[in-house]
Amino acid sequence: MSKKSPVSRSGRFAGGPAAEVAQFTESISFDWRLWKHDILGSLAHAAMLKKIGVLTRQELAAITRGLDAIGKEIKAGKFKWKAELEDVHMNIEAELTKRVPAGAKLHTARSRNDQVALDVRLWLREEITGLLGEIADLQRALVLLGEKNADVIIPGYTHMQRAQPVYLAHHLLAYVEMLERDCERLWDCHSRVNVCPLGSGAIAGSTLPLKREMVAKLLGFVNDGGAVQVTQNSMDGVSDRDFMIEFAAAAALLAVHFSRLAEDVILWAGTEFNFIKIADAYTTGSSLMPQKKNPDIAELARGKTGRVVGNLMALLTLLKGLPMTYNRDLQEDKERLFDTADTVRATTRLLAAMLRNTKVNKAACAAAACDPALLATDLADYLVRKGMPFRQAHHVVGAVVALAEKAGKPLNKLTLAELQSVEPVTGTKYFGRDALGVFNLKTAMAKRNITGAPGTKEVAKQLARWRGRLS
Ligand code: ARG
């Protein structure tokens, strides 16, 4: 292929690039998906060109009609993308110019460098808003699962060893908190995405009296306080990809949170835990072992974290040592960006759907949570209430645990005499007849009522708080 490209190469070049060069340098195969934002940017730019007298009213009308028609064809899948036109910007502009002579004026004081910077910002702005909505839905699914099983208690784990009892809802709400911080990070990143670079030109702005604020306002680059946001340095405007890296970083952390949730789900769905049952439609079978029901959504959520973290690394490396200003290297940003956004959005959606189709096995949870060893710390707290220093209480309860192990019975089956047998001989008896009452799980849960604790009242309060916030 050595066709002359009608848009960018006319004049300086004798012919189009060699076929293998065109194939190596094209980006239309992936940046076509910026078409809507490219058209929106062109419409705003054209309106501004009319305002400063570069376009007549009729020319603006013709360009607007032409771009609208092209947009409709793209949407309907009828537009023919041409690889020899390299990218989405040139494909749309070339087609417009073929149909509308005034299209040749559209690129006045604009370069693909500020155009692509604009398009990805517009695209990402929308993606972040969409993703935030989907994360809220996943939070709602977690809250709902907690509410439906409000009375379910499970062991909480540290080092994967049973530690202390918690309400299942408390465990699930830990993820709701993580996801909320992810939302805050994404929204913070959004404020830096939401700045208009158009008018930066190729590198050095323009000698024409562009109305940058007008374009920015038309495209909604306005902050919470209503102030129009435009980039303040043309060189930075065309080469900055910080906003993209920030998004990739926030998304990577989100994916890491997904991987932790996924791991819990995988463990809980396993025969050894048996805490939950995921509905058939949200699991897959084995091609060989007929009995298998695999938690593939959770496994893929965990696995996809690798590519999202990898995309962040790729973007950081892409920017590292890149001289000012635009370099073609930057074309490599888009696939990483698209992949990150697509991956976290799909994962968010599927995790929410999976959780909505998950049932809790209350009997298995109760069997695991009734282990009295989970309340050994409560027994130490009992001694503290009686005036014993905590370090000593910890030691005494340790001896109680050893005694129970030796006697081959659970902690709550020890007698008062056995408890008292390990107390230091000081004259005061710390263990009283009420000591074994510590092992009543229900009262134990009722006692944990400081802010953030997994107590009965506190968890109900947190569930209600999240229910209200997310509705
Ligand atoms: N496809 C290019 C990209 O994604 C658009 C900008 C091209 N600019 C240039 N001077 N060749 O970065």
pLDDT at residue number 409: 95
Convert the pLDDT of each residue in 220-258 to its tens digit: 999 999 999 999 999 999 999 999 999 999 999 999 999
Region 199-226: mean pLDDT is 98
Domain 372-470 matching CATH 1.10.40.30: the answer reads yes
Among candidate residues 354, 312, 301, 348, the one with its CA nearest the CA of residue 131:
348
Contact yes or no for 43/70 (Cβ under 8 A): no
Any ligand 1 atom below 6 A from CB of 358 = no
* Cα atoms in the 13 Å half-sphere on the side-chain side of 426: 11
Among candidate residues 114, 99, 276, 253, the one with its CA nearest the CA of residue 189:
253
Q: Is residue 56 scored above 50 in pLDDT?
A: yes
Region 142-163: mean pLDDT is 98
- Ligand 1 pocket: which of 116, 203, 324, 335 to mutate (most atoms within 8 A of CB): 116
Q: Is residue 360 scored above 70 in pLDDT?
A: yes
Contact yes or no for 429/423 (Cβ under 8 A): yes
Region 383-393: mean pLDDT is 95
What's the fold here for domain 113-367?
A: Fumarase C; Chain A, domain 2 (1.20.200)
Residue 83 burial (CB count, 10 A): 16
| d(C-alpha 208, C-alpha 189), whole Å | 32
Convert the pLDDT of each residue in 175-186 to its tens digit: 999 999 999 999
Any ligand 1 atom below 6 A from CB of 330 = yes
Q: Is 259 a catalytic residue?
A: no
pLDDT at residue number 8: 56
φ/ψ of residue 284, rounded to 5: -130, 165
| d(C-alpha 180, C-alpha 186), whole Å | 10
CATH of 19-108, one of 1.20.1050.10, 1.20.1090.10, 3.40.1010.10, 1.10.275.10: 1.10.275.10
Q: How far is the CA of 70 from the centre of ligand 1 (A)?
A: 21
Convert the pLDDT of each residue in 278-316 to its tens digit: 999 999 888 888 888 899 999 999 999 999 999 999 999
| Assigned token pair, 8 | 């960018």
Confidence of residue 379 (pLDDT cuts 50, 70, 90): very high
pLDDT at residue number 4: 46
Beta bridge partners of 154: 166
Any ligand 1 atom below 6 A from CB of 27 = yes
Residue that the structure tokens 């048996």 belong to = 274
Q: Is residue 1 scored above 50 in pLDDT?
A: no
Region 114-121: mean pLDDT is 98
Q: What is the mean pLDDT of the chain?
A: 95
Domain-wise residue ranges, the chain: 19-108, 113-367, 372-470
pLDDT at residue number 7: 56
Q: How far is the CA of 132 from the centre of ligand 1 (A)?
A: 29
Beta bridge partners of 360: 276
- Ligand 1 pocket: which of 8, 25, 107, 331 to mutate (most atoms within 8 A of CB): 331
* Omega of the bond leading into 428 within 30 degrees of 0 (cis): no
pLDDT at residue number 9: 60
Q: Is residue 3 scored above 60 in pLDDT?
A: no
Share of the chain above pLDDT 90, in %: 91
| d(C-alpha 5, C-alpha 13), whole Å | 10
Beta bridge partners of 228: 222
Q: Is 171 a catalytic residue?
A: no
Q: How far is the CA of 179 from the centre of ligand 1 (A)?
A: 35
Q: How far is the CA of 117 from the centre of ligand 1 (A)?
A: 9
Instruction: Compute CA distances 306 → 282, 339, 351, 362, whole Å.
Output: 22, 12, 17, 34
Region 158-187: mean pLDDT is 98
Q: Looking at 10, 159, 287, 471, which residue is catalytic?
A: 159
